[in-house]
């Protein structure tokens, strides 16, 4: 009987661990880490950081005229193609012909490490081209033929 009880306790403990590691670790902007709780918008959207309220500008438009949008806060969208596996402090966003490297502003919130493949709407400041990212997890190698935009996100919505 003791081995059955031990096996049941081990099963419960392992299932608790697996659930804990799949929950997104994020800290919304303006909140201390101790009260972090991502919000779920209607329809199953995960909202991180500040609400996405800026006008939507296609990623292709930003890439076509980056100086026009530089230092402005805009919203854009695309499919998440990569995420920082150390912290979730950056992600790569892509549409049909353009890419963006998106840093989370001041490490004030993080995207789930499992966000690749999801569609994201990002509210962000358009930056000058830069290769800076999380010190401990560099972005994936860039494809030279695909123009890339650098963004600093204040809010992210993941579908």
CATH at 73: 2.40.50.140
Residue 112 lies in a domain: yes
- Scanning the structure block, which residue is given the tokens 């358009």? 126
The tens digit of pLDDT for each residue in 49-106 reads 999 999 899 999 998 888 899 999 999 999 999 999 999 999 999 988 889 999 999 9
Q: Specify the number of domains making up the chain.
A: 1
The tens digit of pLDDT for each residue in 16-34 reads 333 233 333 333 333 333 2
Give the domain range for residue 53: 39-158
70-94 in b/e form (b: 16+ CB < 10 A) is eeebbbbbbebebbbeebbbbbbbb
Query: What pLDDT is recorded for position 112?
Result: 97
Residue 89 lies in a domain: yes
Residue 5 lies in a domain: no
Query: What pLDDT is recorded for position 76?
Result: 96
Query: What pLDDT is recorded for position 41?
Result: 53
Residue 27 lies in a domain: no
Residue 123 lies in a domain: yes
**What is the distance between the alpha carbons of residues 119 and 94, in angstroms, rounded to a whole number?**
9
């Amino acid at each position: 009987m003791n081995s059955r009880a031990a096996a049941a306790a081990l099963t419960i403990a392992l299932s608790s661990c697996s659930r804990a590691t799949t929950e997104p670790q994020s800290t919304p902007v303006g909140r201390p880490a101790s009260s972090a709780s991502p919000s779920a918008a209607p329809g199953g959207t995960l909202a991180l950081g500040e609400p996405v309220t800026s006008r939507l500008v296609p990623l292709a438009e930003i890439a076509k005229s980056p100086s026009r949008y530089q230092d402005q806060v805009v919203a854009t969208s695309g499919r998440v193609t990569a995420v920082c596996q150390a912290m979730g402090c950056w992600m790569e966003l892509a549409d049909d012909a353009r890419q963006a490297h998106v840093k989370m502003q001041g490490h004030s919130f993080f995207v789930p490490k499992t966000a690749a493949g999801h569609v994201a709407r990002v509210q962000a400041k358009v930056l000058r081209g830069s290769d800076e990212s999380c010190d401990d997890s560099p972005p994936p190698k860039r494809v030279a033929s695909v123009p890339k935009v650098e963004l600093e996100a204040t809010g992210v919505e993941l579908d």
